[in-house]
């Protein structure tokens, strides 16, 4: 099977870690590089976590490029993560490695690599969109040369930073706006409307503990703080898994139902970071700039995640 080339731009982050781990275990994916951005921690934290996650999976050979430490407006977004101070639920220290980041800046890398491989690269934006927006500003060809952009961000019906704003779009709303308006051929917006539904319950986490491998234990550990945070703030005993759904969708597109939509992001005021999702471009002369994910097959997601990462058939062991 010919593998598809992808790049993950992220702010690891427990759920970013899961996305990287899933990508590295899929026979459909050739992960070319990881880029870091501020988000689930300061840039030093997300960059170091990215290097260590690649090492944990035995892929020190995959380059990690350090990206933007602040949003387009040069302000550092709020980085208090649901995954704790180290972004990995207090377990970042358990995967320390000697892998070091590349010298090139993430934005320079993105521009160079995508423009050298026109129409070949699927880019995942699973943190604030700053690096991607800067690449679009830097190079006229960049947006047109992407094969596809899969974003974890936004939502139509809910928020996690305000009643209407999701974190990645909120943290750099100008960047999210510019990325959505850039004319990229295929943009898939996978937001809270579906990612909230795959939050991991305690039974599912328990399977990770029972599997008792280094990787399953790591995933068990890094999903603990998210679970506790959800319990404290919402009385829900589930752990956030947002970003991993982007990679699961790429591996198995039938996991999500999508509708064409015209999507834009509010950049100022009380609704800053809100994504306005106009299904079928009803209010925009029928023009659409993205695909909006409105439904997810949760069972199928967990079947795929456990099978791909741990080789276990969840339908048999549950
Ligand atoms: C998004 O914000 C970050 O905290 C997560 O990693 C995810 O990308 C969810 O709103
Ligand atoms: Ca993220």
| Mean pLDDT of the 118-144 span | 98
pLDDT at 312 over 90: yes
Read off the pLDDT of residues 148-159 as tens digits, 9 standing for 90 and up: 999 999 999 999
- Report CA 208 to chain centroid distance, whole Å: 21
Q: What is the whole-number distance in angstroms between the Cα of residue 168 and the centre of ligand 1? A: 6
pLDDT at 301 over 90: yes
Q: What is the whole-number distance in angstroms between the Cα of residue 316 and the centre of ligand 1? A: 31
Q: Indicate the SS3 state at residue 188.
A: strand
Mutate to test the pocket of ligand 1, among 10, 87, 127 (most ligand atoms within 8 A of CB): 127
- What is the pLDDT, as a whole number, of residue 304? 98
Mutate to test the pocket of ligand 1, among 191, 240, 265, 275 (most ligand atoms within 8 A of CB): 240
Ligand 1 atom with the shortest distance to the CA of 152:
8
Residue closest via CA to ligand 1's atom 10 equals 167
| CB distance 15 to ligand 1 below 6 Å | yes
| CB distance 9 to ligand 1 below 6 Å | no
From 13, 171, 172, select the one nearest 84 (Cα to Cα): 13
- Report CA 33 to chain centroid distance, whole Å: 14
Instruction: Name the more confident of 231 and 315.
Output: 231
Read off the pLDDT of residues 188-231 as tens digits, 9 standing for 90 and up: 999 999 999 999 999 999 999 999 999 999 999 999 999 999 99
Return mean pLDDT, the chain. Answer: 97
Domains and CATH numbers, the chain: 4-310 (3.90.245.10)
| Mean pLDDT of the 236-249 span | 98
Closest listed ligand to the CA of 152: 1
From 246, 153, 234, select the one nearest 193 (Cα to Cα): 153
Q: What is the whole-number distance in angstroms between the Cα of residue 147 and the centre of ligand 2? A: 21
Read off the pLDDT of residues 244-294 as tens digits, 9 standing for 90 and up: 999 999 999 999 999 999 999 999 999 999 999 999 999 999 999 999 999
- What is the pLDDT, as a whole number, of residue 147? 98
From 53, 96, 60, select the one nearest 309 (Cα to Cα): 53
Give the span between the Cα atoms of 107 and 37, in whole angstroms: 10
pLDDT at 5 over 90: yes
Instruction: Provide the angle, in degrees to the nearest 10, between the axes of the packed helices 202-211 and 298-310.
Output: 10
pLDDT at 81 over 90: no
pLDDT at 318 over 80: no
Q: What is the whole-number distance in angstroms between the Cα of residue 30 and the centre of ligand 2? A: 20
| CB distance 172 to ligand 1 below 6 Å | no
From 277, 192, 309, select the one nearest 241 (Cα to Cα): 192
Ligand 1 atom with the shortest distance to the CA of 12:
6
Residue closest via CA to ligand 1's atom 4 equals 40
Question: DSSP class of residue 76?
Answer: P
Question: Considering the entire predicted model, what is its pTM?
Answer: 0.98
Give the span between the Cα atoms of 272 and 269, in whole angstroms: 5
Q: Strands 256-265 and 275-279, how do they pair?
A: antiparallel
Q: What is the whole-number distance in angstroms between the Cα of residue 285 and the centre of ligand 1? A: 32
pLDDT at 79 over 90: no
pLDDT at 80 over 80: no
- What is the pLDDT, as a whole number, of residue 38? 97
- What is the pLDDT, as a whole number, of residue 188? 99
Ligand 1 atom with the shortest distance to the CA of 195:
9
Give the span between the Cα atoms of 74 and 71, in whole angstroms: 5
């Amino acid at each position: 099977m010919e593998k598809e080339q992808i790049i993950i731009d992220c702010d690891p982050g427990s759920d970013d870690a899961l996305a990287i781990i899933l990508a590295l275990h899929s026979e459909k994916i050739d992960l070319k590089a990881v880029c870091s951005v501020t988000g689930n921690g300061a840039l030093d934290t997300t960059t170091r976590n990215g290097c260590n996650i690649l090492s944990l999976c035995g892929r020190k050979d995959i380059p990690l490029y350090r990206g933007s430490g602040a949003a387009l407006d040069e302000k550092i977004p709020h980085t208090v993560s649901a995954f704790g101070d180290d972004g990995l639920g207090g377990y970042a220290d358990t995967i320390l490695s000697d892998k070091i980041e590349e010298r090139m800046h993430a934005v320079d890398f993105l521009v160079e690599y995508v423009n050298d491989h026109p129409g070949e690269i699927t880019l995942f934006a699973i943190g604030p969109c700053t690096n991607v927006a800067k690449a679009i500003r830097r190079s006229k060809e960049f947006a047109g040369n992407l094969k596809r952009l899969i974003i974890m961000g936004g939502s139509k019906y809910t928020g996690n930073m305000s009643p209407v704003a999701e974190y990645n779009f909120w943290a750099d709303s100008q960047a999210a706006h510019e990325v959505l308006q850039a004319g990229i051929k295929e943009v898939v917006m996978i937001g809270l409307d579906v990612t909230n539904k795959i939050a991991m319950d305690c039974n599912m986490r328990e399977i990770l503990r029972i599997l008792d491998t280094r990787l399953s234990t790591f995933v068990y550990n890094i999903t603990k703080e998210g679970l506790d945070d959800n319990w404290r703030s919402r009385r829900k005993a589930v752990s956030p898994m947002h970003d991993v759904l982007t990679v699961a969708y790429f591996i198995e597109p039938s996991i999500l139902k999508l509708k064409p939509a015209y999507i834009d992001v509010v950049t100022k005021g009380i609704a800053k970071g809100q994504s306005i999702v106009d299904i079928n471009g009803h209010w925009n002369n029928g023009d659409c700039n993205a695909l909006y994910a409105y439904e997810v097959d949760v069972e199928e997601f967990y079947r795929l995640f456990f099978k791909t990462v741990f080789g276990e058939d969840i339908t048999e062991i549950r």
